[in-house]
Amino acid sequence: MRVLSLLAALPLLAAYSYFFSDTFAGGISSTNWYTNGTISGGSSGLTSTASNGGSVIYKPAIPDGSSEYEVKANVTFGGTGGAMTFYGRASNDALDGPTPAGTFYAFELAPTVTGSTCTLVLTVSKRVSGVNTILAQGPIACKTSMTVRFVQRNGWMSFNTNLGERYAITDSSITSGKPGVGARLLAAGSYFTSVELGAADRTAPSSVVSSSVRSAIFDTRVDLAWQGAADDTNGSGIAYYQVNRGGPVLSNTPVENIADTTVTASQAYVYVIYAFDFHGNYSAGTTVNVTTAPAGMRDPRKTGVRPLGLYWGASPENIDLQSGNLSFSLPTVTAQGRGGSAVPLRMSYNSQNWRKDPGGVWKIGNDVGFGFGWKMLAGSLTPVYSGW
């Protein structure tokens, strides 16, 4: 099943290296690849326009002798249609598509391109003993040219893009097999422009340094920030940080800070921060103990438009005459339901994206895909996320 997804800023990278790379400029090497179905290489990369497509499965042994590895590929989508597939633990004859063959895990990307915009549907499946099973399916962020990192570990796989999208899947049905890629029914201009293979990273990152953690504590909000953890010299890079509170996961974040807005006044809380790399290794936890302030100890920023505030301007632009905050909102889309019900969604921006207090300087705003500090709001509701 799909267990996590994330859209966020780019993570920290280490000095991870790949043991094999191919641009397919000279065609498909029979020394390096088993070829199945109809697929071809050329100066632009690897592609297939055939209805059942084709695949290339890596032929030599993985250098460390295992069935654990990373497949990194640069992909270009020239138009709508077809699919690109990443294979894990595949048999030599593995082929996903209308007429599948072999044994494999498959992460399949189906693009829809409209002008300069792109959307993708990710379908995760497996084929065991002649039976195909879909493990997960859903939309992910897309650009017409993007980088994808697929990681195969024992009982676990992950799919990461340079747009910050991350999926992790747990399944242990297939215990051995090779990496590969494939394609079918691709539009003109759609290619794997390069494919690289790397060995599994099995070394955990360093822990977050406890002395680097700082906090800002109010009655209903706790802000934590820390210095980024370091991965090992040949590590796959820091993918995200997991923050637990009292045991359960509170947040997974690719940046070195969180805001917990689910606390109550005058309560003690224990946070534990872990650093995860792209191959699923994680550091020892760094513990942070805090006690929230008494009721009434609020964040000094004054964002939004308050009923008793005094403002200059008119909707959608208001400047708070006490705090100087600029609040700007822009109607974006209305979700229309049956019977006349509707939910208007607005893009909202407040200028107080920074705060300075005894804990230091805080960057409160983030770029979540449509600009620094902007939020998508339904009325006056602000989403609070649990986990991913």
pLDDT given for residue 298 in this prediction = 87
Pairwise CA distance, residues 242 & 251, whole Å: 6
Choose the CATH number for 210-291 among 2.60.40.10, 3.40.50.10490, 3.40.190.10, 1.20.1440.230. 2.60.40.10
pLDDT given for residue 1 in this prediction = 36
Pairwise CA distance, residues 111 & 97, whole Å: 15
List, in order, residues 6 or more apart from 102 with CB less than 8 Å away.
36, 90, 91, 92, 93, 94, 95, 127
pLDDT given for residue 3 in this prediction = 40
pLDDT given for residue 2 in this prediction = 40
pLDDT along the chain (388 residues), means of 10: 38 75 97 98 97 97 97 97 97 96 98 89 97 95 94 95 90 97 97 98 96 95 95 92 92 90 95 96 97 92 88 91 92 85 88 90 82 82 59
List, in order, residues 6 or more apart from 380 with CB less than 8 Å away.
304
Q: Say if residues 303 and 327 touch (Cβ distance below 8 Å).
A: yes
pLDDT given for residue 138 in this prediction = 92
pLDDT given for residue 346 in this prediction = 87
List, in order, residues 6 or more apart from 33 with CB less than 8 Å away.
22, 56, 57, 58, 59, 180
Pairwise CA distance, residues 131 & 129, whole Å: 6
Query: Rounded to 5 degrees, what are φ and ψ at 195?
Result: -135, 130
CA distances from 257 to 232, 267, 349, 359 (A): 22, 21, 20, 13
How many Cβ atoms sit within 10 Å of the Cβ of residue 301? 16
Nearest to residue 169, comparing CAs of 185, 155, 183, 157?
Answer: 157
Convert the chain into a string of H (helix), E (strand) and C (coil).
Answer: CEEECCCCCCCCCCCCCCCEEECCCCCCCCCCEEEEECCEEECCEEECCCCCCEEEEECCCCCCCCCCEEEEEEEECCCCCCEEEEEEEECCCCECCCCCECCEEEEEEEEEEECCEEEEEEEEEEEECCEEEEEEEEEECCCCEEEEEEEEECCEEEEEECCCCEEEEECCCCCCCEEEEEEECCCCCCEEEEEEEEECCCCCCCCCCHHHCEEEECCCCEEEECCCCCCCCCCCCEEEEEEEECCCEEEEECCCEEEECCCCCCCEEEEEEEEEECCCCECCCEEEEEECCCCCCCCCCCCCCCCCCCEEEECCEEEECCCCCEEEEEEEEEEECHHHCEEEEEEEEECCCEEEECCEEEECCCECCCCECEEEEECCECCCCCEC
pLDDT given for residue 145 in this prediction = 95
Domain boundaries, the chain: 17-199, 210-291, 311-378
The answer to whether the bond into 205 is cis (omega within 30° of 0) is: no
Choose the CATH number for 17-199 among 3.30.70.120, 1.10.150.120, 3.40.50.920, 2.60.120.560. 2.60.120.560
Nearest to residue 143, comparing CAs of 167, 163, 168, 166?
Answer: 163
Pairing label, strands 20-22, 45-47:
unpaired
pLDDT given for residue 382 in this prediction = 62
pLDDT given for residue 28 in this prediction = 98
